[in-house]
Amino acid sequence: MTRDTEIFDIIRRERERQTRGIELIASENYVSDQVLEAMGSVLTNKYAEGYPGKRYYGGCEVVDLSERLAQERLKQLYGAVWVNVQPHSGAQANMAVFMACLNAGDKFLGLNLSHGGHLSHGSPVNFSGLMFHALEYNVREEDGRVDYDQLEQVARTEHPKLIIAGASAYSREWDYERIRRVADEIGAIFMVDMAHPAGLIAAGLLKNPVKYAHIVTSTTHKTLRGPRGGVILMGEDFPNPWGKTTPKGEVKMMSAMLDSAVFPGTQGGPLEHVIAAKAVAFGEALQPSYVDYQKQVQLNAAVMAEAFVDKGYKIISGGTDNHCMLVDLRTKFPDLTGKIAEKALVAADITTNKNMVPFDSRSAFQTSGLRFGTPAITTRGLKEDMMPWIVNLIDRVLGNPEDEQNILKVRQEVNAEMVKYPLFAW
């Protein structure tokens, strides 16, 4: 077959884009060459519906080994008792939990999307909000932290069957103990979606939700630094069996219900090449050097947040405990929307995303905020001394977002510096 130059040229351009710029999207990272190699392997050819040892296809003995390895490494990483490594994405992992724990129309409680929550925690345009009755809690306006009083009050009056902690744009540690207490009080299942801080948690730098929640979900591609995908985990104390009866009338164990909710409930054949790449990433996360990496992610974020504050920006909650931060542009540039800011920064090869801030006066399409994160630049090798330099470049762009000459000058400085941080071995 002739080489598909059209698509490989596009891939080359994307590799160049990733290499020349400063990547500040909080949910992105650069995987290792081994993760890429496993993902691009012959394992993509294999159908393996079912689970290791119980497949619906022949010839699965080899992929069984890699899926088991992924499971064992993931258990070790978080001290989990049971895991499922098949969800194709974070949203798929969440969908499986909903399917296992709730019936259509049941109430559940999650963080308000415009206060940092995720689509799959109850947005009206997502399955979670369309098929189930979504209730929400907020962050407090005065300090940008989760309003646990409000969470408890909604839980006690509405009696949701499931309470979700976890967010897409929240820079603080969670009070899992407090949420677990109210969940126990009302008989709800407590789920933590640790997609964003999963890598910091694996490195022991933030509290491990597996110790507090009945069920934990995650993506594997953010701070964790694996291939795109999802996982589900459970710790020691999940009720087993849970007591929910299946359509056939049997009472099933929660682990079995979650397994069936992933396959055949919401997915078909697992992506065994991605599962092998997850195994590689979990193996990397078990190495001592991974803790150094995550410490640097956290330090870079803290220094970056401080540099923003020094320049007169407002950071929601005043700082960060993890890898990300949400900047409210209104204090420094009241007329600048997140949409325009994102576009100007991208033109300067600084990639970030517009984001609503809590109690935003603008819509989700315009926004008053930008979200920044340090996982990718830290993988690239940038240390804390470079964070004020980055913030200064951002400030120069945002001060004159329409000035093309100014943007070009910043872009040249970005490109000249980033050449010093090689990215891919190939």
Ligand X SMILES: Cc1ncc(COP(=O)(O)O)c(C=O)c1O
Binding site for ligand X (CB under 6 A): 27, 89-91, 118, 120, 166-168, 193, 195-196, 219, 230
Measured from the CB atom, the residue of 84 and 219 that comes closer to ligand X is: 219
Active site (annotated) includes residue 292: no
Q: Distance between CA 63 and CA 3 in Å, rounded?
A: 29
Closest CA to 272 of 4, 49, 75, 29: 49
Measured from the CB atom, the residue of 262 and 307 that comes closer to ligand X is: 262
Active site (annotated) includes residue 193: yes
What are the two backbone dihedrals, phi and then psi, of residue 338, each rounded to the nearest 5 degrees?
-60, -35
Measured from the CB atom, the residue of 95 and 391 that comes closer to ligand X is: 95
Q: Distance between CA 222 and CA 93 in Å, rounded?
A: 15
Exactly one of 68, 228, 295, 362 is catalytic; name it. Answer: 228
Measured from the CB atom, the residue of 316 and 398 that comes closer to ligand X is: 316
Measured from the CB atom, the residue of 19 and 89 that comes closer to ligand X is: 89
Measured from the CB atom, the residue of 92 and 368 that comes closer to ligand X is: 92
Question: How many CB atoms neighbour CB 423 within 10 A?
Answer: 15
Contact 413, 364 (CB under 8 A): no
Active site (annotated) includes residue 320: no
Closest CA to 167 of 222, 124, 87, 212: 222
Give the nearest distance from C-beta 297 to ligand X in angstroms: 16
Measured from the CB atom, the residue of 224 and 303 that comes closer to ligand X is: 224
What are the two backbone dihedrals, phi and then psi, of residue 51, each rounded to the nearest 5 degrees?
-130, 160
Residues 6+ apart with CB under 8 A from 309: 315, 318, 319
Give the nearest distance from C-beta 120 to ligand X in angstroms: 5
Give the nearest distance from C-beta 150 to ligand X in angstroms: 20
C-alpha dist (Å) from residue 191 to 70, 290, 329, 376: 22, 26, 32, 27
C-alpha dist (Å) from residue 301 to 216, 277, 315, 369: 25, 27, 12, 17
Q: Distance between CA 19 and CA 38 in Å, rounded?
A: 21
Q: Distance between CA 366 and CA 351 in Å, rounded?
A: 17
Residue nearest to ligand X (CB): 90
DSSP string, 97-158: HHHHH--TT-EEEEE-GGGT--GGGT-TTSHHHHHSEEEEE-B-TTT-SB-HHHHHHHHHHH
Active site (annotated) includes residue 49: yes
Give the nearest distance from C-beta 204 to ligand X in angstroms: 20
Give the nearest distance from C-beta 166 to ligand X in angstroms: 5
Give the nearest distance from C-beta 122 to ligand X in angstroms: 12
Exactly one of 47, 75, 148, 175 is catalytic; name it. Answer: 47
Exactly one of 23, 152, 193, 272 is catalytic; name it. Answer: 193
Exactly one of 136, 145, 152, 219 is catalytic; name it. Answer: 219
Q: Which two tokens stand for residue 355?
A: 């984001």
Give the nearest distance from C-beta 238 to ligand X in angstroms: 20
Per-position b or e across 243-276, b if 16+ CB within 10 A of its CB: eeeeeeeeebebbbbbbbbbbeebbeebbbbbbb
Active site (annotated) includes residue 228: yes
Active site residues: 47, 49, 193, 219, 222, 228
